[in-house]
Amino acid sequence: MGIPAYRPPDEPGLWDVFLNRLERVLKKASLHPTTVEYLVHPRRLVTVSVPVKMDDGKVRFFQGYRVVHNIARGPSIGGVRYHPKVSLGQTAGLAAWMTLKAAVYGLPFGGAAGGVAVDPKALSSKELERLTRRYTAELVNLIGPDIDILGPDLGTHEGIMAWMMDTYSMTLGTTVPGVVVGKPAALGGTEGRDDAVGLSVALVLWTLAERRGLPLEGARVAVQGFGQVGGAAAFWLARMGLKVVAVSTSKGGVYDPEGLEVEALLAHYGETGELPPWGESISNEALLSLEVDYLIPAALEGVLDGKAAQKVRARAVLEAANGAVTDEAEAHLLGRGVLVVPDLLTGGGGLLSGYLEWVQDLNMFFWTKEEVRARIEASVRRAVEEVCERAEALEADLRTGALALALERVNEATRLRGVYP
C-alpha cells in the first residue's frame, strides 16, 4: 500500500490481502493516519523454536509463531494453527483478521494468531502433547486472560487447548481457565462451541434472507469442506429447510440434486473419516461450479480464485473459511451480480463462543447450551444488520461495509486511548 507497512520475511499471503483491502476501504472510511500506522504494523511478532523429544528419543525442532496485531479494543485473542504451511506472514494476516472480526461483532478484543509449522497427523499423541506444552511454555510470559488468549484453529482441538491451559496454569501455580478458549466443558469450556461457526454461517444467511428477500425453504446449497465448520453449516442449513445437494472434503465429494441426508452423512463421516458413496462422486473443483442458490467454501483460504470464480453459478457465496475468496474472484462475482458474504460476518460464531467462554471463566458462572446459542444468534443478527446498514450508506458491497464498520470502531478506540509517550 502507499504508506510504509510491515513486510514479513516469508510468503506474506493473508497479510498482503489485509493490506490490499485496507487500502481499498480507506477511500470510503475515514481513519486517522495514526490508526492506519497501528494497523499496518503488528504490535508483537514472536518466532520461537520448539524442540520436541520424539518417541524414538531423538529431538526435532519445529518453527512456531505468535502475532498480536492490535489491542486498541481489548486483550488480543486468536487461534493456534498446526499445519505444515504455517508461516509468519500467514499468521500476521490471521491476526489482523481477528482484529477486524472482533470489531465487526463489537467485542472487547484485539486480534492475534499463532501456530506451528507441523503436520499434526504425523505425530503420536505423546509427541503432540510435548509439542503443545513446549510451544505454550515459550509464550507463557506473553499470554494470559487479560493479555493474549489462545484458541483452536486448523489442526488443533479442545484436547490441545486443555494441555495449553494446564501448562500455563502449572507454571503460574494456579488454575487459569481463561487463558484459552475452546477447552473441554469439564475444564471451563462453553457448551455449544463445537458447531458455533457453522451455526453463525446459517444465521447470517437466515438474517440476510429476511432483509433482502433471498430464498430459504428448499434452496439448494453446496458446501466445500466438510470439517467442523462446513459440517455444522450443512447441519444447521438443513435444519432450516434448505436442501444440501453437495459436500466435499480434501479427498472429493458427493452430490445428489435431490438433497443429501446431512445428519446421516455427518454420522458416517464422524465414524469413518470418509464420505459414503451416496449420489454421484464430485471433485472440489466441480462442486464450485454447481448450479445452486448458495455456495459455501469452508476449507482453506484462496480456494475460490479468479479462474474458479468464472465457473461459479451460485446466486450467493458465503465465505465460511478465512480468506476463501480472493480479491480477483470477488471482483468477478460482484460484477456478475453474485452476492458475496465475507468471512468477517460468517465466521463470527467461533469468536462469539470464545468471548462467552472467556466471560464465563472470569466469573465462574456458566450458561446452558441453549443460552449460549441464543446469545450467539442475537449477536449475529445485530452484526448483519449493522454491516448491511454501513454497506448501504456507502453504496458498497458487504465486505466493504464490514471492513469500514470494523476499522471505524478500531479508529475510535485508538483515538480515545491516544498514544502512550
Domain extents for the chain?
14-175, 196-337
Give every CB contact of residue 93 below 8 A, 6+ residues apart in sequence: 12, 13, 14, 15, 16, 17, 18, 113, 323
Mean pLDDT, rounded, for 143-150: 98
Query: Chain-wide mean pLDDT for the chain?
Result: 94
Whether residue 335 contacts residue 168, with contact meaning beta carbons closer than 8 Å, is answered with: no
Mean pLDDT, rounded, for 79-108: 96
Q: What is the pLDDT of residue 329?
A: 95
Q: What is the pLDDT of residue 323?
A: 86
Q: What is the pLDDT of residue 8?
A: 84
Instruction: Write the pLDDT tens digit of every residue in 282-303.
Output: 999 999 999 999 999 998 788 8
Mean pLDDT, rounded, for 394-400: 95
Same CATH topology for 14-175 and 196-337?
A: yes
Q: What is the pLDDT of residue 411?
A: 95
pLDDT band with cut points at 50, 70 and 90 for residue 2: low
Q: What is the pLDDT of residue 193?
A: 84
Query: Of 66-75, 161-170, 184-193, 401-410, which range is least confident?
Result: 184-193
Distance CA 248, CA 252 (A): 5
Mean pLDDT, rounded, for 311-319: 96
Q: What is the pLDDT of residue 191?
A: 87
Whether residue 217 contacts residue 241, with contact meaning beta carbons closer than 8 Å, is answered with: yes
pLDDT band with cut points at 50, 70 and 90 for residue 13: confident
* Nearest-10 Cα torsion for 209, 213, 216, 221: -70
Whether residue 379 contacts residue 410, with contact meaning beta carbons closer than 8 Å, is answered with: no
Mean pLDDT, rounded, for 245-274: 93
Angle between helix 327-335 and 14-25 (nearest 10): 50
Q: What is the pLDDT of residue 90?
A: 92
Residue 201 has pLDDT above 70, yes or no: yes
CATH superfamily label, 196-337 = NAD(P)-binding Rossmann-like Domain (3.40.50.720)
Instruction: Write the pLDDT tens digit of every residue in 181-197.
Output: 999 999 999 988 888 88
CATH superfamily label, 14-175 = Leucine Dehydrogenase, chain A, domain 1 (3.40.50.10860)
Q: What is the pLDDT of residue 4?
A: 78
Mean pLDDT, rounded, for 90-114: 97
> Coil, helix or strand for 133?
helix
